Amino acid sequence: MSRNVPIIKKYSMAFKLKVVEEIEQGKMSIDKACKIYDIGGKNTIQKWMEKLGKGHLISKVVRIEMKDEKDKYKELQKEKKDLESALAQSQLKIIALESLLEAAEEEYGVDLKKTLEKRRGKGQKKRGNG
């Protein structure tokens, strides 16, 4: 006469770590691990993951926001992009004007920057006195 003796499975620490690591790396799901390694139930693996896994070390940030907040964020992102583009255009204009000024100085042999500064200085004095 044969009796149905319950089978008690004991898993080694190395085995548990291997299963947990494979699940955390996304190589398989808990369900798939149960089938492949013939593990009794999901709860067993979930307990291993709580004790041995690295999931508890990673904090999860969940942002909850109103619909209009998302719209405002997108609007600000667009505005930022537009401003960055305008700044880049301005910088290109400055570089072009400086290059033009240098070319004119070489062509005519005159220091135009000093000439402009002198004229500005005279103009400011006249405005201040008047």
- Report pLDDT digits (tens) over 33-54: 999 998 887 899 989 988 888 8
- Measure the CA–CA gap between 17 and 48, rounded to whole angstroms: 8
Closest to 20 measured CA to CA, from 58, 56, 50? 50
**Residue 4: per-residue pLDDT:** 83
- Measure the CA–CA gap between 73 and 79, rounded to whole angstroms: 10
For the chain, the average pLDDT equals 85
Q: From its phi and psi, is residue 81 left (phi > 0), alpha (psi between -120 and 50) or beta?
A: alpha
Token couple for 27: 């190589």
How many of the other CB atoms lie within 10 Å of CB of 43?
A: 9
Mean pLDDT, range 65-80, rounded to an integer: 86
| Predicted structure pTM score | 0.41
Coil, strand or helix at 58: coil
Token couple for 8: 């008690």
| Cα-based angle 31, 33, 38 (whole degrees, multiple of 5) | 100
